[in-house]
C-alpha cells in the first residue's frame, strides 16, 4: 500500500513522484510590464519542458498544481483566460503527450468547468490511459481538503462504517500513485496553499525563488540534487537507516 505512515517507501535516487506548485506567473509578467496572463502562457511552456525533463530522468509521476479551489476568487477575466488556456492545451498539446507515451490525468472537481473542457479532459484521459511512461496529473479546481472530503464521501456512499487510513488513501485522487517524494514550490512563497495535504505527509519540501516560467532543466536538476542530499527518516533515527541512506 502506498502510505508513508504505514509502510516506509522504497529509497530511490530519483524521486518517483514529484509534485509542483507552479507559482510566480503573475510576477514574471509584471516584471516585464506584461499583463499577468502572459505569465500563464509562458508557464504552460515551462510545464511542457518540465514534463520532458521528468520523463527523461525516469520520474514516474509528475503532479502539478494548475488551478486551486481558491483560485476562483481571482478576477473574472483572469479565471476565464486560464480556462481558455486549459482548453487550448487539452486540444493542442495532448497529441504530443500521447506520442511521448505519457498518461494524462486531471484531478480535481469538474463541476464548475464548462462542457468543452470536460469533454477535452475525458478525451485526453481516454487517449492516454494505456500509456506506460510518465503519469502527468494536472490538478485543476483541486484542493487538498476537497480531496480528503471526496474520499470520505465515497467511503460513506459505499456504506463503509469504519473509516481507516488505508481506505482514505485509496480513495484520494492519487490513490493509485506513490506519495510525492519531492514537493517543489516556485515563486518564493513558503506555503502549501491547500495542495496535496494528505499525500505530502513525508514529502521533501523544496522552495525556490525562481518564478515558474523561468523554471528549466537546470532548476529541476538543482531540486533533485537537493532531494538527494536529504536524509529521509520517516520517523526513525539516522542510525537505523542503511548506510547508503545516511546523509550526515
The partner in contact with residue 21, picked from Mg ion, ligand IPE, none with C-beta cut-offs of 5 to 8 angstroms by kind, is ligand IPE
- Chain residues binding ligand IPE by CB under 6 A are 21-27, 65-68, 71, 82, 187, 189, 191, 193
Active-site residue identified among 7, 53, 71, 141: 71
246 closest CA partner among 4, 24, 11, 14 = 11
Q: Does 67 bind Mg ion (CB under 5 A)?
A: no
Q: Is 56 marked within a binding site? A: no
Cβ atoms of residues 127 and 94 within 8 Å: yes
Site string for Mg ion, 99-128 (x = CB under 5 A): ------------------------------
Q: Is 32 marked within a binding site? A: no
Q: How far apart are CA 22 and CA 42, in angstroms?
A: 11
Q: How many residues would you count in the chain?
A: 248
- Nearer CB in complex with ligand IPE: 155/187: 187
In the bound complex, what is the minimum distance in angstroms from residue 80's beta carbon to ligand IPE? 12
Q: Is 71 a catalytic residue?
A: yes
Q: Is 192 marked within a binding site? A: yes
Active-site residue identified among 23, 141, 147, 181: 23
Q: Is 100 marked within a binding site? A: no
- Nearer CB in complex with ligand IPE: 27/230: 27
Distances (CA, A) of 61 to 50, 57, 64, 82: 12, 11, 10, 24
Give the residue closest to ligand IPE by C-beta: 26
How do 182-185 and 204-207 pair as beta strands? parallel
41 closest CA partner among 53, 55, 56, 28 = 28
In the bound complex, what is the minimum distance in angstroms from residue 182's beta carbon to ligand IPE? 16
The partner in contact with residue 82, picked from Mg ion, ligand IPE, none with C-beta cut-offs of 5 to 8 angstroms by kind, is ligand IPE
The partner in contact with residue 193, picked from Mg ion, ligand IPE, none with C-beta cut-offs of 5 to 8 angstroms by kind, is ligand IPE
**Cα maximum dimension of the chain:** 56
In the bound complex, what is the minimum distance in angstroms from residue 194's beta carbon to Mg ion? 13
Q: Is 128 marked within a binding site? A: no
Q: Does 37 bind Mg ion (CB under 5 A)?
A: no
Q: Is 176 a catalytic residue?
A: no
Q: Does 23 bind Mg ion (CB under 5 A)?
A: yes
- Contacts of 54-60 with CB under 8 Å at 24 or more apart are 54/18, 54/134, 54/220, 55/100, 55/102, 55/133, 55/134, 57/14, 57/220, 57/224, 58/14, 59/14, 59/15, 59/16, 59/17, 59/18, 59/134, 60/16, 60/17, 60/134, 60/135, 60/178
139 closest CA partner among 105, 188, 97, 113 = 105
- Nearer CB in complex with ligand IPE: 19/82: 82
- Known catalytic residues? 23, 71
Q: Which residues sit in the known binding site for Mg(2+)?
A: 23, 204
Amino acid at each position: 500500500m502506498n502510505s508513508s505512515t504505514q509502510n516506509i517507501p522504497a529509497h530511490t535516487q530519483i524521486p518517483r513522484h514529484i509534485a509542483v506548485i507552479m507559482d510566480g506567473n503573475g510576477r514574471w509578467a509584471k516584471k516585464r510590464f506584461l499583463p499577468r496572463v502572459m505569465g500563464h502562457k509562458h508557464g504552460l511552456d515551462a510545464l511542457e519542458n518540465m514534463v520532458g525533463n521528468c520523463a527523461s530522468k525516469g520520474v514516474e509521476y509528475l503532479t502539478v498544481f494548475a488551478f486551486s479551489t481558491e483560485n476562483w476568487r481571482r478576477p473574472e477575466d483572469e479565471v476565464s483566460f486560464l480556462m481558455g488556456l486549459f482548453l487550448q492545451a487539452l486540444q493542442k498539446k495532448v497529441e504530443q503527450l500521447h506520442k511521448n507515451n505519457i498518461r494524462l490525468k486531471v484531478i480535481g472537481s469538474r463541476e464548475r468547468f464548462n462542457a468543452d473542457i470536460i469533454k477535452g479532459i475525458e478525451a485526453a484521459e481516454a487517449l492516454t490511459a494505456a500509456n506506460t511512461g510518465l503519469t502527468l496529473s494536472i490538478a485543476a479546481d483541486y484542493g487538498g481538503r476537497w480531496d480528503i472530503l471526496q474520499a470520505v464521501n465515497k467511503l460513506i456512499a459505499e456504506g463503509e462504517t469504519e473509516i481507516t487510513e488505508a481506505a482514505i488513501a485509496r480513495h484520494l485522487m492519487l490513490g493509485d500513485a506513490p506519495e510525492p517524494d519531492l514537493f517543489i514550490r516556485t515563486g518564493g512563497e513558503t506555503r502549501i496553499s491547500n495542495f496535496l495535504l494528505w499525500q505530502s505527509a513525508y514529502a521533501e519540501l523544496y522552495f525556490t525563488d525562481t518564478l515558474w516560467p523561468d523554471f528549466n532543466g537546470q532548476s529541476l536538476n538543482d531540486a533533485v540534487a537537493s532531494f538527494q542530499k536529504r536524509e529521509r527518516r520517516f520517523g526513525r533515527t539516522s542510525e537505523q537507516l542503511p548506510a547508503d541512506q545516511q546523509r550526515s
